[in-house]
Amino acid sequence: MNSNSRLRLVGVLAAAVVFLALPLPAFAQNCALCYTQAASTSARMIQALRSGILILIVPPTLGTIGLFFVVHRRINQFKRVDDAAEPGQDW
């Protein structure tokens, strides 16, 4: 592992720690309309609301993970091509 990748890893870990250290009430902001509608409905409707939230969250999350995977593979592909070049050809 070279120094650039170590520095990048440390930066990502530091950003993750800062993100997780943010106050939890900042993540708990709710829509007033959703709250009142959920509070006045039955258990079946609440379950439908939860299912709807999952349906709206899962596809973008999977798409983002897939995009990171593709980008990571492409970056590694270009690194392998650069590594295969002869040592005197780095101009």
Per-residue pLDDT of the chain (91 residues; tens, 9 = 90+): 577 788 888 899 998 888 777 766 655 566 777 777 777 888 888 888 888 888 999 999 999 999 999 998 888 777 665 555 555 555 5
In a domain, 91, yes or no: no
As given in the structure block, the two tokens for residue 78 are 């270009």
Q: What is the pLDDT of residue 91?
A: 54
Could you list the residue range(s) of the whole structural domain that residue 47 is in? 3-85
Indicate the number of domains in the chain: 1
Q: What is the pLDDT of residue 26?
A: 56
In a domain, 90, yes or no: no
Q: What is the pLDDT of residue 58?
A: 93
In a domain, 23, yes or no: yes
Distance between CA atoms of 53 and 61, rounded to whole angstroms? Answer: 13
Q: How many residues does the chain have?
A: 91
Residues 6+ apart with CB under 8 A from 34: 49
